[in-house]
């Protein structure tokens, strides 16, 4: 390791020279209170900025062990320090100076969720932060003095203000860790109590807009109605920091959310979808938690499907009979929704979340009159309505369903919640009365059993990451798309993906999976579980040699969703055991 002065002298030596001379600053330098690592130097001022790390010893950083004593608190602390670093960059870094990305200092900044990330690591010895610096140049000529400003004035200030316990707001930090820990404890209680989800009283569910995930604020014509449980579904749970928390527990089984248009049905479901993640204090959903094995399902016409047994829902298609290993480049609304469900079940989903807004009608319902006109053996689709109870009985899979459009679901629901001007009411008994009074001559079409869920083994050659002369070309293109070799994986219908850094990780997880586990004897689920266990043990750094600072941890379900959307995917069926 070299002294910081060494970096200073290189910068003054290469000042004014061609950009390539920046390569000389690669290395580790000892600054007064931390080590600065220049891991990778960009090739020109327009390329992705250079990868830098700062490593402080805990002697300097001074975080008490309680702040990182368990996974929950450690992840929350790392998240907090990432945000704190970003805030200090905003205050102390001048930013753009010179051409291209010259002077920009950036860190992968989290949004409303608290996720495990690679932007920051805390343990008993050190605090490490990973970020990027656009090494400054005018045209292609090195601006050595400006680089010196960044490394010797700005970054030391940022580090001092954002990564030392002493300079942080103790109360605010503690709240961040406590709120995160409470969410984990709350979520952990769900399956033992046979709950699918829990929404605390007082939660704020609506968001500012479709592209702004912060809580809706009062004013400017907005009224915000905080969540209030119906008495019959209200329970009290206990968490370590907030103490007793009352709220609505949605039990396992089949829950229907009904109500008039614009009364808050989808907003409730959306909060439940996001309840698989923890949220920051002030988000409004800090005490909204959902089983971690919940998957949002929607229709997605146009997607590709590889060898999925969708016979539980769709059989006897005209001119093609192979729905036992359904393969298509261009699925319809109903076949895509069926495939989405079976694929989620294949990798361990135990709670389906479905909104009529994004479902194929002919997949969801088939009413009495239609049964009469189009007889069963001319209709390949068994509607979800006729399978939802079998799903629960045979596989223990619950469903929460937003359905304002068809009362046929009253027959199969264990519980009916009506959203009425954003206030939930338990209308289970009323729905049962209607069923008893009016009856129906609709015939059940679901058969005796739900049917088999496939286990597929993806073939290794499905995962070619090369493109042109590059052996590996994998990258996230925003939140909803991954470049994998020569293909684009379209994740626009994968609604529980919340961060582009998860998307980035998914691309590399698929590559890792393909190298280590594809093709062999393991089905998709087991192969992915192995990768996720590896990540549990060694962290997301197993995915890359670059000390990547911009990964966030995805769930196994979203990784599987990406694999399933690869147009190159080829599978073989698990041999029957």
Binding region for ligand ADP (CB under 6 A): 205-206, 216, 223-225, 259, 261-267, 419, 422
Q: How far apart are CA 328 and CA 322, in angstroms?
A: 11
Size of the site for Mg ion (CB under 5 A): 3
Least Cβ distance, residue 423 to ligand ADP (angstroms): 8
Residue nearer to ligand ADP on the CB measure, 93 or 233: 233
Q: Is 50 in the site for Mg ion (CB under 5 A)?
A: no
224 binds, among ligand ADP, Mg ion, none (CB under 5 to 8 A by kind): ligand ADP
The secondary structure element, H or E, covering residue 334 is helix 333-346
Q: Which is nearer to ligand ADP, 198 or 484 (CB)?
A: 198
- The answer to whether 510 touches 562, Cβ cutoff 8 Å, is yes
Residue 133 structure tokens: 């610096």
Is the Cβ of residue 329 or residue 357 nearer to Mg ion in the bound state? 357
Buried residues in 156-189 as b, exposed as e (16+ CB within 10 A): bebbbbbbbbeebeeeebbbbbbbbbbbbbbbee
21 binds, among Mg ion, ligand ADP, none (CB under 5 to 8 A by kind): none
Shortest Cβ distance from residue 366 to Mg ion (Å)? 21
**Residue 376 per-residue DSSP state:** G
Question: What is the closest distance, in whole angstroms, from the C-beta atom of residue 223 to ligand ADP in the complex?
Answer: 6
Helix segments in 360-486, DSSP class H:
361-364, 368-373, 388-395, 428-438
By beta-carbon proximity to Mg ion, the closer residue of 180 and 266 is: 266
Select 143 or 272, whichever has its Cβ closest to ligand ADP.
272
Burial of 420 (0-12, 13-18, 19+ CB in 10 A): middle
The interface partner of residue 292, options being ligand ADP, Mg ion, none and the CB cut-off 5 to 8 Å by kind, is none
Residues 6+ apart with CB under 8 A from 11: 25, 144, 145, 147, 148, 151
- Candidates 153-161, 204-212, 353-361, 518-526: pick the segment binding Mg ion (CB under 5 A): 353-361
CB of 94 to Mg ion, least distance (A): 46
The 8 Å CB, 24+ separation contacts for 417-421 are 417/230, 417/233, 417/250, 417/255, 417/256, 417/257, 417/258, 418/257, 418/258, 418/259, 419/257, 419/258, 419/259, 419/263, 419/264, 419/265, 419/268, 420/259, 420/260, 420/263, 421/225, 421/263, 421/264
| Closest to ligand ADP by CB, 28 or 228 | 228
Pick what 205 binds: ligand ADP, Mg ion, none; C-beta below 5 to 8 Å, kind-dependent.
ligand ADP
Residue 244 interacts with, from Mg ion, ligand ADP, none (CB under 5-8 Å by kind):
none
The interface with Mg ion within residues 254-273 (CB under 5 A) comprises: 265-266
Closer CB to ligand ADP, 216 or 574, in the complex: 216
Distance CA 98, CA 104 (A): 10
Q: How far is CA 482 from CA 274, 298, 473, 486, in A?
A: 22, 20, 10, 10
Paired tokens of 525: 């689920």
Q: Give the nearer residue to ligand ADP in terms of CB position, either 84 or 267.
A: 267
Q: CA-to-CA distance for 206 and 416, rounded, in angstroms? A: 21
132 binds, among Mg ion, ligand ADP, none (CB under 5 to 8 A by kind): none
Stretch that binds Mg ion, among 277-285, 354-362, 370-378, 390-398 (CB under 5 A): 354-362
3-state secondary structure of 249: strand
Do residues 88 and 157 touch, judged by C-beta distance below 8 A? Answer: yes
DSSP 555: P
Whole-number minimum distance, CB 277 to ligand ADP, in Å? 19
Query: Which residue has the closest beta carbon to Mg ion?
Result: 266
User: In the bound complex, what is the minimum distance in angstroms from residue 298's beta carbon to Mg ion?
Assistant: 12
Per partner kind, with CB cut-offs from 5 to 8 A, the member of ligand ADP, Mg ion, none near residue 533 is: none
Q: Give dist(CA 131, CA 85) in Å, integer.
A: 9
Q: How far is the CB of 213 from Mg ion (least distance, A)?
A: 17
Q: How near is the Cβ of 256 to ligand ADP at its closest, in Å?
A: 13
Minimum distance, C-beta of residue 290 to Mg ion, in the bound complex (Å) = 18
Closest distance to ligand ADP from the beta carbon of 417 (Å)? 12
Burial environment of residue 84 by CB neighbours within 10 A (0 to 12, 13 to 18, 19 or more):
buried
The interface partner of residue 329, options being ligand ADP, Mg ion, none and the CB cut-off 5 to 8 Å by kind, is: none
Smallest distance from ligand ADP to CB 298, Å: 14
The binder of 261, among ligand ADP, Mg ion, none, by C-beta within 5 to 8 A per type, is: ligand ADP
Q: Does 323 bind Mg ion (CB under 5 A)?
A: no
Checking phi first, is residue 519 left (phi over 0); if not, alpha (psi -120 to 50) or beta? left
Integer Cα distance of 453 and 525 in angstroms: 12
Cβ distance to Mg ion smaller for residue 221 or 261:
261
**CA 437 to CA 260: how far, in whole Å?**
22
Q: Which is nearer to Mg ion, 357 or 433 (CB)?
A: 357
Q: Which of 498, 478, 91, 540 is nearest to 489 (CA)?
A: 478
> Residue 540 has which token pair?
């997301």
Partner whose footprint covers residue 314, from Mg ion, ligand ADP, none (CB < 5 to 8 Å by kind): none
Give the phi and the psi of residue 251 in degrees, each rounded to 5. Answer: -70, 165
* Binder of residue 215, out of ligand ADP, Mg ion, none (CB less than 5 to 8 A by kind): none
Helix, strand or coil, per DSSP, at residue 278: strand
357 binds Mg ion (CB under 5 A): yes
Please report how close the Cβ of residue 199 comes to ligand ADP at its closest, in angstroms: 11
The binder of 422, among ligand ADP, Mg ion, none, by C-beta within 5 to 8 A per type, is: ligand ADP
Per partner kind, with CB cut-offs from 5 to 8 A, the member of Mg ion, ligand ADP, none near residue 206 is ligand ADP
The least CB distance from residue 355 to ligand ADP, in Å, is 8
Of 265 and 387, which has the nearer Cβ to ligand ADP?
A: 265
**CB closer to ligand ADP out of 199 and 500:** 199
Beta bridge partners of 35: 30, 55
Please report where in the chains the tokens 């229709």 appear, as a residue: 299
- Specify the residue, 117 or 265, whose C-beta has the smaller distance to ligand ADP: 265
Phi/psi of residue 28, nearest 5 degrees: -115, 135
């Amino acid at each position: 390791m070299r002294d910081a002065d060494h970096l200073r002298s290189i910068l003054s030596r290469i000042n004014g020279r061609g950009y390539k001379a920046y390569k000389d600053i690669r290395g580790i330098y000892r600054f007064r209170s931390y080590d600065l690592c220049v891991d990778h130097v960009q090739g020109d001022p327009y390329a992705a900025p250079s990868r830098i790390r700062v490593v402080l010893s805990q002697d300097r950083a001074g975080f008490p062990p309680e702040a990182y004593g368990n996974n929950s608190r450690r992840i929350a602390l790392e998240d907090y320090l990432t945000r704190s670093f970003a805030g200090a960059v905003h205050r102390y870094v001048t930013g753009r100076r010179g051409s291209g990305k010259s002077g920009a200092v950036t860190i992968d900044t989290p949004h409303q969720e608290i996720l495990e990330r690679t932007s920051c690591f805390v343990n008993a010895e050190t605090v490490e932060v990973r970020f990027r610096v656009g090494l400054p140049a005018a045209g292609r000529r090195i601006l050595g003095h400006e680089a010196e400003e960044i490394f010797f004035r700005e970054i030391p200030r940022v580090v001092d203000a954002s990564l030392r316990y002493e300079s942080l707001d103790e109360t605010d930090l503690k709240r961040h860790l406590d709120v995160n820990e409470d969410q984990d404890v709350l979520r952990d209680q769900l399956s033992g109590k046979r709950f699918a989800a829990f929404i605390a009283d007082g939660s704020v569910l609506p968001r500012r807009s479709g592209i702004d995930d912060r809580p809706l604020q009062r004013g400017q014509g907005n009224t915000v109605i905080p969540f209030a449980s119906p008495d019959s579904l209200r329970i009290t749970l206990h968490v370590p920091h907030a103490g007793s928390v009352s709220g609505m527990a949605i039990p396992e089984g089949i829950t229907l959310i009904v109500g008039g248009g614009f009364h808050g049905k989808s907003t409730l479901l959306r909060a439940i979808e996001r309840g698989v993640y923890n949220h920051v204090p002030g988000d409004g959903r800090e005490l909204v938690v959902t089983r971690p094995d919940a998957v949002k399902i929607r229709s997605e016409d146009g997607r590709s499907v590889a060898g999925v047994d969708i016979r539980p829902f769709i059989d006897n298609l005209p001119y093609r009979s192979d729905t036992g290993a359904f393969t298509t480049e261009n699925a319809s609304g109903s076949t895509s929704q069926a495939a989405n469900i079976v694929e989620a079940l294949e990798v361990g989903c135990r709670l389906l979340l479905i909104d009529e807004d994004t479902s194929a009608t002919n997949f969801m319902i088939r009413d009495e009159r239609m049964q009469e006109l189009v007889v069963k053996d001319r209709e390949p689709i068994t509607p979800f309505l006729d399978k939802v109870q079998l799903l629960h009985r045979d596989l223990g899979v619950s469903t929460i369903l937003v359905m304002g459009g068809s009362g046929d679901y009253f027959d199969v629901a264990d519980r009916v919640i009506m959203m009425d001007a954003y206030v939930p009411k338990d209308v289970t008994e009323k729905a049962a009365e209607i069923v008893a009074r009016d009856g129906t001559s609709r015939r059940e079409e679901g058969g005796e059993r739900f049917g088999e869920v496939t286990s597929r083994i993806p073939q290794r050659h499905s995962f070619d990451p090369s493109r042109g002369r590059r052996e590996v070309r994998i990258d996230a293109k925003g939140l909803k798309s991954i470049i994998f070799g020569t293909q684009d994986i379209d994740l626009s219908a994968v609604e529980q993906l919340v961060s582009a850094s998860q998307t980035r990780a998914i691309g590399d997880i698929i590559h890792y999976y393909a190298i280590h586990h594809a093709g062999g004897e393991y089905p998709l689920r087991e192969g992915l579980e192995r990768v996720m266990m590896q990540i549990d043990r060694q962290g997301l750094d197993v995915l890359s040699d670059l000390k990547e600072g911009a990964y966030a941890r995805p769930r196994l379900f979203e990784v599987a969703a990406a694999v399933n959307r690869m147009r190159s995917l080829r599978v073989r069926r698990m041999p029957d055991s």
